[in-house]
Amino acid sequence: MKIVSTPILYTFRRCPFAIRARAALYFSNTKFEIREIKLNDKPKEMIEVSKKGTVPVLVLNNKVLDESMEIIIWALEYNDKLNLLNPYIKKKKETLDLISKIDNKFKYHLDRYKYSSRYEKDNHFKGKYIHRNLAESYLLEIENTLYTKKNTYLFENRISILDISIFPLVRQFRTADLEWFKSNPKLTAVNRWLDKITNLDFFNIIMKKYKPWKKINSPELFSSNLKI
Ligand SMILES: N[C@@H](CCC(=O)N[C@@H](CS)C(=O)NCC(=O)O)C(=O)O
């Protein structure tokens, strides 16, 4: 698809779904206007194009993508010189199934662990540490993949759509209790994998801080200048 105008990304720096969308836009070398938002004061320009009010939202000249996986796939189908789509092409079902398990089941328990006070009155709430154990059980599968294959990354030893889609949610889980996570002997390979990814140059670049977007200010342009 030919891009006429510069894409606009509505984003929130710490949101794991926005982090993975920015990662894919980075790896696809897409130049875009970055609009950092406040979740409690969303710009009307964003709601006009996507009523559901979640970030990330990518506005293209002919369509709006308001699900992070749609943005990732759009970006990498547009330009994927580093072959991040490899597992999505070779093992599409397994790849999407794993991402969906992390997005839904793992994230469900992660929220109830990390933000336990918000759920205390919920009938289905099992207690902070039970939810931590249940979230951890999904990471044991990842630990097993990394450990048994002696892999650095989740698919064939190079960074792929699987890593960039999953690591921001695992990072969110880790930050809930850094000490517990880092010293957890059951998550040695997951810790190594997360350290490896968050120490790559791209991570610093996509985590740069921007002031919340205001229409009157000049646009902030994001360009990865990836040498590919
Ligand atoms: N399925 C969506 C989830 C996006 C999402 O839940 N984003 C959160 C921030 S991490 C959000 O915008 N929540 C709206 C709010 O808090 O008002 C995606 O993958 O893009």
Q: What percent of the chain has pLDDT over 90?
A: 92
For residue 17, report the distance from its CA to the centre of ligand 1, in Å: 7
pLDDT value of position 93: 98
pLDDT digits 0-9 by tens, 36-59: 999 999 999 999 999 999 999 999
* Protein residue whose Cα sits closest to atom 5 of ligand 1: 54
**Does ligand 1 lie within 6 Å of residue 38's CB atom?**
no
Q: Copy the structure tokens of residue 94.
A: 């397994």
pLDDT value of position 45: 97
**CATH T-level topology, domain 8-82+204-222:** Glutaredoxin (3.40.30)
Going from N- to C-terminal start, the domains of the chain cover 8-82+204-222, 92-154+160-199
**Does ligand 1 lie within 6 Å of residue 17's CB atom?**
yes
pLDDT digits 0-9 by tens, 94-117: 999 999 999 999 999 999 999 999
**Does ligand 1 lie within 6 Å of residue 68's CB atom?**
yes
pLDDT digits 0-9 by tens, 110-163: 999 999 999 999 999 999 999 999 999 999 999 999 988 788 999 988 999 999
For residue 10, the one-letter residue type is Y
* Protein residue whose Cα sits closest to atom 6 of ligand 1: 54
Residues 82, 49 contacting (CB under 8 angstroms): no
When pLDDT is averaged across residues 197-215 and rounded to a whole number, the result is 96
Confidence band of 227 (pLDDT split at 50, 70, 90): low
pLDDT value of position 156: 86
DSSP H stretches of helix in the chain: 16-27, 44-49, 68-78, 86-90, 92-101, 107-114, 128-148, 161-176, 178-182, 188-198, 201-206
pLDDT value of position 1: 52
For residue 20, report the distance from its CA to the centre of ligand 1, in Å: 12
pLDDT digits 0-9 by tens, 175-191: 999 999 999 999 999 99
pLDDT value of position 150: 83
* Protein residue whose Cα sits closest to atom 14 of ligand 1: 54
